[in-house]
Structures are given as structure tokens and as C-alpha cells.
Structure 1
């Protein structure tokens, strides 16, 4: 019997090991990498390392909807880990018939994450995803109830592993044992576990009803300042960010730049750009210009009209009160 499995690959070590373990048992493994604004694995080198084909699937817009109200809540930051795992596994289940896959492989490790990878959560995730018996976690399988995949003899339980906890030493030893290339240290990761990024995203969710992918990409750039409920200023930190901010400004945002002195580019996202708001924005831009004292001329361009504001740098305490 020729068997096929879909393996979820995140770009991290655990999912790569899980896929490799099943491949070594003679199962044809098809890698699936779900692309969101918060995770984007480099699939080409990953596929070569594991020795499988990896197919990227874009799910960004659906994932943004999940963030609004995750059923099982958030982790330490804005990471909806349980809902995320369920979402990804449901998506993988929908792909099974198209790829003619018999079961699903995941790199979860028992006890590695306190919220989403304890015994009860792993059981809940399997049930909610509709994959009862068809989901195998090769790194911790010996510590978990036997699955239908094992009972049917599709994979041998004695060739699976019993890893648990947060230590990565067993995984690194397994890397050497099975010859997995390109993994010097565990990698991967999700922006939603980053405290700074999560704070920016929380601000966006609080103040903006409709989100698009540009909104999320902008969270990764610059210094962010919440000016009022409907206005946010993003200030570039270097030349590369300045250019990227200009590229995003074609969506109706206002560009602010110093005229005669070196300094940052900023974009103002607002529906009501009154004089007070523009003066405040110009003061923030002036704070990051090379001239800290005296007046700085700031160009303000909304795509239709351009003007210049004479501004002085906003005081540091006032600046920090607005920082996201």
C-alpha cells in the first residue's frame, strides 16, 4: 500500500524533524507551508533539507479574521496558539483529498508550550480540527495515545519518539542521527509572540475595524505613534524604511519629510488631517531630524497638495506618551 501524508512545515526545527521521521518510514510526505503575515517559511531550502516537496498556501486574510476573537484566547502576547493550530489543521484536512493524503503530520512537542502543547490542549486541537486518529505527532507520539495511523500499521510506533518539555537537546541530537541538514540551532518563530509587535497589533485592532495586509506589513516598520483614535504616525528609522514607507503611502496616507536637514520620512494615516494634527506630526518628525534645536521645515504631501510646516521638535516626554 502506497501511503501519503501531509506535513505542516513552519520553517522551524520541530516540523522539519516530524516530516523527516515519517519520510524515513517509507511514507510519501507532502509539505504544506501556510503563509500568514506573521509567519513565512523559506520553503526552497527547507524542502531540500527534508527531501520533500513543500507547497505554500496563502491564508493571510482568513487568519486576520481569526485574530479578532480567538475562541480559546491568547497566549502571553497576541498569539492565539490553540486557535492557530486548529485553523492550520482544518486547512490541512481540507487539502487531504486533493493531495490524496491518508493522514496529517505535525511537529508539536508535549509540554513545550504551556498553553497550547499540554496534554489536554493537544487532545482538544485534534478533536476540534476533525482529525481524530488521523493526526500524528512523531516527536512525542510515544507519550500520547496511539493513533489510528499507528494501529493500522501505516507507521511504526517504535520508530517514533517520546520528547517532552522545553529542552531542545533531544531534537539537536536527532538532527545528527538522521542527517537533517541546515539546522545548526532551532529556528522558526511567529511575530505574534513578540511583545513589541503584539503591542502594535493590539493598538491596530483596538482602533481600526477593517484590516488589510498593508496594515500588518506597516507594523513591521518604523516607530509608531498613536495620535488619536483615528490617526497614527509611522516614522522611518533608516533610509531603507523611509523608502518602504513611501511605497505604502499610495493608499491615501500623508507623507511628511524634512526639507533642508537630514531626517526621517513619516506617513500619517488619518481621515481628518487638521492643522493641530499636522503640527503634532511635524513635531514628531522634527524630533528625529539632525537639527534638534530651532525650527525645522517639514514637507507635508497628501498626494493632491503639498505644503511646508515650520516646526520644532516635540519634547521627549510628550513624544513617549504617544509611542505605541
Structure 2
């Protein structure tokens, strides 16, 4: 008899791991999928690979950055507290999972959603909306709270036993931690899931990039690496905070970027976008601000060219730098 397959959405957080385990314990072949965007938490890919080994399941990593950027600009169901489009994000993920389900011959999708845990996307109304909009009506098993919801097709058809599913509700995690002990699971991430768009400071930076029509994966990776400044609608600056970030910024430099490196000890900075001469002067002053002494000679070059210009920069004032810091 052919074994029933299920696609499990694995975020790296605790709930998604437990949901996959609950279903695999019923003899279902579980295939994990993790969706990757530039807004995923640091180390997500490594963590989910480790968790897949612990769960003894196959895992697919799918980069949905292009689709996510389109959705982020105009989310049909709006944003959460910050720039997090939770409902539209979930719909996008489930549509992708539905496609993967067809490709791999799986019968249903498993998620770690818990009724009432997140105000925007995990209330009963949103759960029903997401299921309709994703085209997955009846084919999503929310293993941790299934007993609180109407039976799914896999439950009705007897592919899985509803009695072995759970009735977890709300923000308390006591029942989840009991399951962790039962299954001896470790290596999972923080409960919040790690999406950077839930962070207010980071969301402001992303909004600034969106307003300037400069939002892409390369710029998000650059922005995550240091202090972010908007010198104009068309020119942005990222300044390293330590030696490790300085090296990382240089790795992220792309053709046409402006690299700022002080001759004395200090931060590396990357400027990106259409610039005026005044932008280079302001950027140099910002770099000088983070150097120990001033004025400072700043080596300025267009990547990947070797030709350098030296700008002798005074430190920008603490008051003025706030005009540009995002």
C-alpha cells in the first residue's frame, strides 16, 4: 500500500516542528519545506536543516523572495503592527506549498498554527480566510489545534486519526513544552518565528527603501549588516559597526557601489544609488563621525575599480547625523 505523504511548513520555530512530529508519528511520510526570504531570521537555513535531521524527514528550501517583494508592496490584507503582512504572507506560503504538494504527490499540508496565538493571522476568521484564498480548503491540517477546528479532509477520510491531534489554544506554551519532553526535541528557534518585519526599527528602514523604489534582496542583505542612512531619495549609506561587519559589507559590495574606507582605524561604509557630489561629502563626514579622531582622510572608490579619491572629512555633528539615520 502506498504511504500517504504530507508537506509540513517548517519555520524553525517550535510549533512547526511539533506539528510535523505529531503527523509523522501517525506513519505519514512528512516532507518539510522552509520558505526563505531576506527577512528570515539569521541562521534559519542552518537551523531547519538540523531540525529535519532530528525529525528524520526530507527538507526543501524554497526561495520566494521575488514573490514576497511583490506582495510586500501591496498586501491585500494589510500589515500588522509594523511592516509584517502576516495574512498575505501565509497565503503566499500555502500557495507555494500547494504547488509542491502536487509535484511530490503529497495529499495534504501540515502547519504549526495555534488558534489564538497570533492576533492577526491565527484567529478563527483569518484561518478560514487564509485557507480559502490559498486554494487549500480542507487540505490544511493544523495539528496542534485541530480539535478546536472543523475536521479537515485528511481527518474525514481517515488518512490521519483526529484523536491523536491536539487542542492547544492561546499564547501559553506549557502543552508545547510537554511535547518537547515527550519527543526529546532540541534546536528549535524562538517562538516569535524570527521575521524581521515585525521589528519596528527594521521596518522603518524597509519602508525607506520601498519609498525610494530600491528594495531588493541585495540591499536588504547590505542593510542588515550595519547602520543605515538615507542621504537622499536615491542614495543610501550603510556603515559597519565592527571589524566583522566591515568585512561583510565589502563582501556585499556590487558594481557601481561607493566604498568608503578611512586611512586610520574606523568603519567601512558602502554607498549605493544615484549620487551627487554633496552625497559623497556627507557620507564621508558620517564615516568620520565613527572614527576616533578627526578630521579623517577617507579613501573613496567606485567598486570594483582601484582608482581612489581621498576626501578629508570633518566629523558630522551629532545633531545633523540624526537627519540621515533611519
- TM-score range relative to shorter protein: over 0.9
Q: Output the CA distance in 2 between the equivalents of 1:248 and 1:265.
A: 12
Q: 1:290 aligns with which of 289, 292, 312?
A: 292
Q: Output the CA distance in 2 between the equivalents of 1:226 and 1:185.
A: 31
1:44, distance to aligned residue in structure 2 (A): 2.3
What residue in structure 2 maps to residue 130 of structure 1? 135
Residues 197, 219 of structure 1: 8 Å contact kept: no
Residues 114, 169 of structure 2: 8 Å contact kept: yes
Q: 2:157 aligns with which of 144, 147, 152?
A: 152
Residues 37, 213 of structure 1: 8 Å contact kept: yes
Unaligned runs of 5+ in 2: none
Compared CA separation, residues 243 and 178, structure 1 to 2 (3 A) = closer
Q: How does 1:32-51 map to 2 (within 5 A)?
A: 32-39=33-40, 40-42=44-46, 43-51=48-56
What residue in structure 2 maps to residue 251 of structure 1? 255
TM-score normalized with structure 1 length: 0.94
Unaligned runs of 5+ in 1: none
Q: Output the CA distance in 1 between the equivalents of 2:92 and 2:71.
A: 8
Q: 1:61 aligns with which of 62, 66, 83?
A: 66
Q: How does 1:182-193 map to 2 (within 5 A)?
A: 182-183=187-188, 186=191, 188-193=193-198
1:188, distance to aligned residue in structure 2 (A): 3.6
Q: Secondary structure at the match of 1:139?
A: coil
What residue in structure 1 maps to residue 146 of structure 2? 141
What residue in structure 1 maps to residue 117 of structure 2? 112
What residue in structure 1 maps to residue 281 of structure 2? 279
Supply the RMSD in Å over aligned alpha carbons. Answer: 1.6
Residues 172, 185 of structure 1: 8 Å contact kept: no
1:189, distance to aligned residue in structure 2 (A): 1.6
Q: Output the CA distance in 1 between the equivalents of 2:88 and 2:120.
A: 11
Most deviating of 78-87 and 44-53: 44-53
Residues 175, 183 of structure 1: 8 Å contact kept: no
What residue in structure 2 maps to residue 20 of structure 1? 21
TM-score normalized with structure 2 length: 0.93
Q: Secondary structure at the match of 1:44?
A: helix
Q: Output the CA distance in 1 between the equivalents of 2:211 and 2:116.
A: 32
Q: Output the CA distance in 1 between the equivalents of 2:139 and 2:225.
A: 41
User: Would you say how many aligned residue pairs link Structure 1 and Structure 2?
Assistant: 319
Q: Output the CA distance in 1 between the equivalents of 2:95 and 2:131.
A: 10
Q: Output the CA distance in 1 between the equivalents of 2:191 and 2:88.
A: 23
What residue in structure 1 maps to residue 5 of structure 2? 4
Q: Output the CA distance in 1 between the equivalents of 2:189 and 2:286.
A: 43
Residues 223, 234 of structure 1: 8 Å contact kept: yes
1:292-311 deviations in whole A, cap 9, x for unaligned?
A: xx421111112444211111
Q: 1:317 aligns with which of 306, 316, 319?
A: 319
Q: 4+ residue stretches of structure 1 with deviation over 6 A?
A: none
